[in-house]
């Protein structure tokens, strides 16, 4: 059944996909388009924010001429800045922007994956609820315990058939002796 009663909302939802805590609503037949649009907009916002932070950091690097800077090693060698030291410098002087940038990249990638997953489900006419149930059923059938159970069950059936055939062969022999 594609319709399901949501325990959180306490209502029935046609073509139930999942209950979304971000939207505080069930996602189903009537609002899956809006949910996909919601994910798309948040992906765009995260990647646009990442772009703006990269732009801010690149102007900071250019303003402080970090790529032209040099430092002295413990041996006294004159060494030009590399990516590692620029990253450390930015983490010290622009920690908020760097952490926010890393966070937005991670969240944007997760949202992009989630968006792709829901687009794939929509194109294949699946729901998250159905996919999770099918995966659980499939993993149950592939489990070793399940396979062992059915092997044992097949062996029992074979033994029962053999016993029945032995009994029927034994009964035929008794009938032949009586005649």
Is the torsion defined by CA of 103, 105, 106, 110 positive or negative? positive
Name the phi and psi angles at 167, rounded to 5: -65, -45
Other CB atoms within 10 A of residue 5 CB: 11
Q: Could you give the residue numbers annotated as active site?
A: 20
Question: Where are the alpha helices (H) located in the chain, listed in sequence order?
Answer: 32-63, 83-93, 95-123, 128-142, 144-178
* Ramachandran angles phi, psi of 9, nearest 5°: -85, -20
């Amino acid at each position: 059944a594609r319709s399901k009663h949501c325990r959180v909302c306490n209502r029935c939802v046609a073509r139930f996909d999942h209950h979304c805590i971000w939207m505080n609503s069930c996602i189903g037949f009537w609002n899956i388009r809006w949910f996909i649009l919601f994910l798309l907009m948040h992906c765009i916002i995260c990647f646009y924010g990442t772009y703006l932070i990269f732009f801010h950091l690149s102007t900071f690097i250019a303003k402080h001429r970090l790529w032209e800077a040099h430092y002295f090693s413990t041996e006294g060698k004159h060494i030009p800045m590399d990516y590692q030291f620029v990253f450390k410098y930015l983490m010290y002087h622009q920690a908020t922007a760097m952490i926010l940038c890393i966070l937005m990249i991670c969240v944007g990638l997760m949202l992009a994956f989630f968006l792709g997953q829901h687009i794939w489900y929509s194109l294949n006419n699946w729901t998250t609820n159905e996919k999770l149930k099918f995966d659980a059923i499939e993993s149950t059938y592939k489990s070793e315990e399940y396979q062992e159970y059915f092997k044992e069950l097949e062996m029992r059936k074979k033994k029962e058939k053999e016993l029945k055939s032995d009994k029927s062969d034994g009964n035929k022999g008794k009938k032949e002796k009586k005649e």
